């Protein structure tokens, strides 16, 4: 071990290694979002299966970020980051050689594990490096997410629709190799919790039994859906883990932290759940103006990148709850306009949506780190992990389910009114998802249907996409109400204030 002089500036090489690692996670996200419609066609996937692929790109993140948060102070940040590199490279190889749904699922699962590992390192490292300006620097860190969406999206879109999707997936090798090489030469600091002498058990007590119950329930029930466990098994497993955690810590958890966790669910669905589908949802309207729908995600991500990277002055103008309430209101307007706009007005609506979503994720993480520094890596990363699993299980999945249900019902209505047999010919048998039974379109049969029947189905599908966007409005509305109530709560306590830990040592110890 070596120590660093207390007057030394933070190691910016380490910050940029973390930054490029976050860029890599964004590559994994946007490349799959852009080629998702192509996968649907090439592998004859239903909308719900496409939603499940979007979801598995998110929810395993929660498993790895929580597990690594529990042990990262023991095994070291560098070891965890190298594991993330291995996951990113392995997932790309499996996906490139995929022959069906389950290989796509496995490759996407592994990239999500890598993403969670990277954030389990990057979030607490940056919060420790900049303890007096966490929101600003976490916003800059997560500008890497937006920047990765822009860079990866532009690279994939410029390759053109004629280029095989395998080549687009391979683009992730570029940032993965860069942050892997940078990691090898970086020295990582001890977490601020460790520096302050806060014990491991004290960290766990910040989460407590209730915090453990929330995150465990989402993870276990999702694993149960994947592996076919009964509901009883999932309930018992969840209660045993949460009860054991609560018994060991002798804590229910910080009440305000539990509230933050609950708010993170609609926040993540609004941002990531929508983003995972935005290319597909915007395709009908963007085609009318000759624009590839992936550019909508790239454009909103560019707005997010600029705002996050220059977040310092903005974050100092208002409190974290105030900024999040403002962004929630803007996101409500943006999503509504996206669901009703046509032609070039889509770009105006996308601008408003991009402005709204820009500060959600880093400001929420910053607020958790400011209010619960004793929780160290755990409280910070459980919040991010919960957000990812909520976006993956609820957000991405429910948007696909809403579309399939709408298409199923409206085709049946069309047949009844026009004495046709489109439903019986092109709609699959009932399938089951975590949201219930549904029926999807058989893409193989539809591809050889007559032009009139294809047009009928396409019109109904396009309407279902707009309906899905309108349904997601409930989540930013929930957020707006929650943050307004938090503002009132903090005012009753004398205003929002960050909590500072007194460090045990002046020097930042390096490992």
- Between 169-178, 280-289, 332-341, 357-366, the lowest mean confidence (pLDDT) is in 280-289
Answer whether residue 210 is part of any domain: yes
Exposure string for 28-51, b = 16+ CB within 10 A, e = fewer: bbbbbbbbbbebbeebbbbbbbbb
**For residue 3, what is the enclosing H or E element?**
strand 2-4
> Which residue range(s) make up the domain with 59?
2-389+482-510
pLDDT (average), residues 78-98: 95
pLDDT digits (tens, 9 = 90+) for 212-261: 999 999 889 888 877 888 889 999 999 999 999 999 999 999 999 999 99
Please report which confidence band the pLDDT of residue 406 belongs to, taking 50, 70 and 90 as the band edges.
confident
DSSP label at 428? P
- Residues 443-499: tens digit of each pLDDT: 778 777 788 888 888 888 877 777 777 888 999 999 999 999 999 999 999 989 888
Element (H, E) at 509: strand 508-510
Count each helix (H run) and each strand (E run) in the chain, helices first.
Answer: 25, 4
Q: What single string gives the DSSP state of each residue in 60-101?
A: HHHHHHHHHHHHHHHH-HHHHHHHHHHHHHHHHHHHHT--SH
Has residue 15 got a pLDDT over 90? yes
Lowest mean pLDDT among 142-151, 192-201, 326-335: 192-201
Provide the 3-class DSSP secondary structure of residue 284: helix
For helices 376-389 and 255-268, give the axis angle rounded to 10 degrees: 30
d(CA 300, CA 308) in angstroms, rounded, equals: 12
Q: Which residue has the tokens 């949460």?
A: 242
Q: Is 418 part of a structural domain of the chain?
A: no
Q: Are 65 and 423 in contact (CB under 8 A)?
A: no
Q: How far apart are the first and last CA of the chain?
A: 6
Mean of pLDDT values over 334-344 = 83
* pLDDT on residue 434: 64
In a domain, 398, yes or no: no
Q: With contact defined as beta carbons under 8 Å apart, do 355 and 307 qualify?
A: yes
Burial 296-329 (b: 16+ CB within 10 A, else e): bbbbbbbbbbbbbbebeebbeeebbbbbbbbbbb
pLDDT of residue 48: 75
Angle (nearest 5°) at CA 27 between 325 and 370: 35
Please report whether residue 490 resides in a domain: yes
The DSSP letter of residue 232 is H
Whether 401 and 435 have beta carbons less than 8 Å apart is answered as yes
In the prediction, which pLDDT does 1 show?
36
pLDDT over 60 (residue 106): yes
Q: pLDDT grade, residue 505 (50/70/90)?
A: very low
Any domain includes 436: no
Predicted confidence band at 312 (pLDDT cuts at 50, 70, 90)? Answer: low
The percentage of residues in the chain with a pLDDT greater than 70, rounded to a whole number, is: 94
DSSP string, 16-47: HHHHHHHHHHHHHHHHHHHHHHHHHHHTT--H
Torsion over CA of 364, 370, 374 and 380, rounded to 10 degrees? Answer: 20
Asked if 39 contacts 50 with a C-beta cutoff of 8 angstroms, the reply is yes
DSSP 125-139: HHHHH-TT-HHHHHH
H or E stretch covering 438: strand 436-438
At 280, is the pLDDT very low, low, confident or very high (cuts 50, 70, 90)? low
338 or 7: which carries more pLDDT confidence?
338
**Is 367 a domain residue?**
yes
CA angle 267, 273, 276 (to 5 degrees): 140
Integer Cα distance of 88 and 91 in angstroms: 5
Residue 362 is part of a domain; what is its CATH number? 1.20.1250.20
Per-residue pLDDT at 69 exceeds 60: yes
State the Cα torsion 94-96-102-108 to the nearest 10°.
70
Task: Give me the pLDDT at residue 503, please.
Answer: 56
Residues 285, 331, 148: CA angle, nearest 5 degrees: 75
Q: Which two tokens stand for residue 179?
A: 């942050």
Distances (CA, A) of 78 to 74, 164, 233: 11, 35, 36
Bridge partners of 441, per DSSP, are: 427
In whole angstroms, give the CA distance from residue 55 to residue 146: 19
Query: d(Cα 259, Cα 484) in Å, to the nearest integer?
Result: 13
pLDDT at residue 277 in the model:
66
R_g of the chain, CA atoms, integer Å: 23
Do the domain assignments include residue 445?
no
Closest CA to 297 of 157, 394, 402: 157
Give how many domains the chain has, as a whole number. Answer: 1
In a domain, 423, yes or no: no
Give the residue with greater pLDDT, 289 vs 273: 289
How does residue 180 score in pLDDT terms, banded at 50, 70 and 90? very high
């Amino acid at each position: 071990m070596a120590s660093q002089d207390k007057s030394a500036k933070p190691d910016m090489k380490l910050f940029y290694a973390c930054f490029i690692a976050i860029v890599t996670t964004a590559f994994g996200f946007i490349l799959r979002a852009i080629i998702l419609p192509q996968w649907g066609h090439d592998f004859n996937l239903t909308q719900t299966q496409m939603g499940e692929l979007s979801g598995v790109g998110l929810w395993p993140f929660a498993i790895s970020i929580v597990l690594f948060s529990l042990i990262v102070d023991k095994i070291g940040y560098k070891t965890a980051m190298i594991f993330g590199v291995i996951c990113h490279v392995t997932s790309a190889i499996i996906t490139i050689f995929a022959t069906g749904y389950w290989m796509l699922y496995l490759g996407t699962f592994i990239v999500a594990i890598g993403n969670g590992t990277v954030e389990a390192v990057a979030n607490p490292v940056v919060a420790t490096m900049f303890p007096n300006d966490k929101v600003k620097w976490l916003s800059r860190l997560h500008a890497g997410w937006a920047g990765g969406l822009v860079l990866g999206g532009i690279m994939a879109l410029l390759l053109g629709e004629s280029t095989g999707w395998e080549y687009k997936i391979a683009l992730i090798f570029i940032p993965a190799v860069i942050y892997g090489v940078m990691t090898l030469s970086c020295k990582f600091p001890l977490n601020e919790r460790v520096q302050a002498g806060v014990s491991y058990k004290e960290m766990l007590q910040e989460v407590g039994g209730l915090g453990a119950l929330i995150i465990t329930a989402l993870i276990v029930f999702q694993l149960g859906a994947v592996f076919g466990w009964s509901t009883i098994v999932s309930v018992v497993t969840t209660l045993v883990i949460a009860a054991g955690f609560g018994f060991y810590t002798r804590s229910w958890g910080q009440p305000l932290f539990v509230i933050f966790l609950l708010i993170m669910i609609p926040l993540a669905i609004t941002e990531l759940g929508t983003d995972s589908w935005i290319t597909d949802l915007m395709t009908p309207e963007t085609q009318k103006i000759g624009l590839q729908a992936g550019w909508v995600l790239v454009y909103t991500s560019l707005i997010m990148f600029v705002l996050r990277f220059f977040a310092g002055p903005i974050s100092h103008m208002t409190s974290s709850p105030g900024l999040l309430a403002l962004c929630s209101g803007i996101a409500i307007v943006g999503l509504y306009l996206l669901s009703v706009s046509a032609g070039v007005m889509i770009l105006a609506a996308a601008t408003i949506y991009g402005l709204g979503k820009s500060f959600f994720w880093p400001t929420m993480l910053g607020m958790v780190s400011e209010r619960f520094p004793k929780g160290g890596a755990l409280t910070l990363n459980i919040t991010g992990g919960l957000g990812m699993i909520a976006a993956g299980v609820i957000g991405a999945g429910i948007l696909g389910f809403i579309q399939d249900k709408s298409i199923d019902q409206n085709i049946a209505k069309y047949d009844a009114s026009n004495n046709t047999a489109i439903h019986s010919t092109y709609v699959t048998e009932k399938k089951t998802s975590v949201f219930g039974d549904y029926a999807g379109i058989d893409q193989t049969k539809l591809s050889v249907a007559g032009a009139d029947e294809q047009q009928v189905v396409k019109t109904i599908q396009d309407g279902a996409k707009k309906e899905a966007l309108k349904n997601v409005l409930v989540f930013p509305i929930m957020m707006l109400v929650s943050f307004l109530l938090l503002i009132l709560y903090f005012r009753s306590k004398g205003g929002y204030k960050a909590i500072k830990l007194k460090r045990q040592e002046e020097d930042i110890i390096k490992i």
